[in-house]
């Protein structure tokens, strides 16, 4: 029997990549998205051309509509990619941020609980649940921040510390997903992602920074660097992320707590300044930059420790940052016409 996947936020960057991956695994896929971002319209229209895709415009805040669609579709797996995704937007519109991230996620959980569904749920959380990590002893050189040499990444024992409305809303949703597994026995998996990048990522200045910097370089647009540019993240190619989701779907084990840090790890860590160097080497030309004041609640460094994922699902990143950045650079070049539709 054909397996069924329901993706909230399914026309976004990660959601549409999940759809394409699971379609190749012969899944029937339901795309549910409010299509607020112009870039989502492109992904939405492309996906609905596939005979194994059902598309529906809607919002996870609409409980009754979401419940009716899920009960009718009867998914084996739900991937919750919906939600507000930018710290800066959350500071400007905290109510919108809370309703999108908390209420939307809570509705999915309640639909599963009240209807006694055995559906697996993969929820996309964030490393921002750990706050700005200012208590860590952080060093720096001329290109990046770093921690002591023995540092192997932040694991799931790192203290939770919600900073910014975004951190609060994603943190609250994160804890609901974990607790509904513990209290009600739901089959939930909470993925605390670092920075994900790859094709179909129409980055903006507030979110999707790897794609945004590449786009600026390609279009000769000046890059704003908020802070000194030494901030470090471990970047994970979206192809590796979708493979993790498939491993989770196939897994039969329930003797696990269900929450994981997920990123590119130490080998794929990179600062803004280092990314600019790589982009310049690909472009074979200098890019224009200007420094701006540091953003509130911006972590100086976050690198995921993926050992728990490796132990539980035998998963680790395969695409290194140099290969992945090259791939994304070429994808943006090939799709400049799409970018021109909604970027001035």
User: How far is the C-alpha of 125 from the C-alpha of 68, rounded, in Å?
Assistant: 25
The rounded distance, in Å, linking the Cα atoms of 11 and 40 is: 5
Q: Which among 110, 117, 106 is positioned nearest to 75, based on CA atoms?
A: 117
Q: Which residues pair with 123 in a beta bridge?
A: 80, 190
What Rg do the C-alpha atoms of the chain give, in angstroms?
Answer: 19
Q: How many residues does the chain have?
A: 344
Closest CA to 237 of 215, 265, 260, 261: 265
Q: Quote the CA–CA distance of 134 and 252 in Å, as a whole number.
A: 39
- Going by the DSSP 8-state scheme, the letter that residue 304 receives in this structure is B
Q: Are 215 and 221 in contact (CB under 8 A)?
A: yes
Contact criterion met (CB below 8 Å) for 2 and 69: no
Q: Looking at 145, 166, 189, 202, which residue is catalytic?
A: 166
With residue 39 as reference, give the H or E element that holds it.
helix 38-47
180 classed as catalytic: no
Task: Name which of 153, 126, 282 is nearest 218 in CA terms.
Answer: 282
Contact 99, 90 (CB under 8 A): no
Distance CA 209, CA 202 (A): 10
DSSP state of 268: G
Task: Tell me which residues are annotated as active site.
Answer: 166
């Amino acid at each position: 029997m054909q397996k069924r996947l329901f993706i909230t936020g399914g026309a976004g960057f990660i959601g549409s990549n999940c759809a394409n991956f699971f379609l190749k695994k012969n899944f029937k896929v339901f795309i549910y998205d409010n299509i607020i971002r112009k870039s989502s319209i492109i992904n939405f229209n492309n996906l609905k051309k596939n005979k194994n895709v059902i598309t529906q415009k809607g919002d996870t805040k609409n409980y009754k509509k979401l419940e009716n669609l899920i009960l009718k579709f009867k998914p084996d797996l739900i991937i919750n990619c919906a939600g507000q995704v930018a710290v800066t937007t959350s500071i400007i519109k905290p109510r919108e941020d809370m309703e999108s991230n908390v209420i939307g996620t809570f509705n999915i959980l309640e639909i599963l609980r009240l209807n006694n569904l055995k559906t697996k749920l993969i929820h996309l959380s964030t490393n921002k649940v750990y706050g700005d990590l200012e208590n860590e002893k952080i060093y720096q050189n001329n290109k990046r921040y770093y921690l002591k040499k023995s540092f192997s990444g932040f694991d799931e024992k790192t203290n939770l510390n919600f900073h910014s409305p975004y951190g609060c809303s994603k943190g609250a949703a994160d804890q609901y997903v974990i607790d509904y597994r513990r209290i009600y026995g739901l089959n939930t998996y909470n993925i605390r992602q670092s920075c994900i990048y790859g094709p179909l990522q129409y980055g903006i200045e507030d979110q999707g920074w790897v794609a945004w910097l590449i786009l600026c370089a390609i279009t000769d647009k000046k890059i704003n660097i908020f802070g000194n540019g030494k901030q470090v993240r471990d970047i994970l190619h979206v192809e590796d992320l979708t493979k993790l989701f498939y491993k989770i779907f196939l897994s039969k084990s329930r003797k696990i707590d269900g929450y994981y840090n997920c990123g590119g790890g130490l080998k794929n860590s990179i600062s803004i300044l280092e990314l600019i160097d790589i982009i310049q080497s690909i472009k074979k030309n200098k890019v224009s930059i200007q420094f701006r004041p540091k953003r509130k609640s911006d972590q100086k460094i976050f690198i995921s420790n993926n050992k728990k994922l490796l132990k539980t699902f035998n998963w680790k990143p395969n695409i290194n940052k140099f290969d992945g950045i090259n791939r994304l650079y070429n994808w943006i070049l090939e799709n400049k016409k799409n970018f021109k539709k909604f970027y001035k």
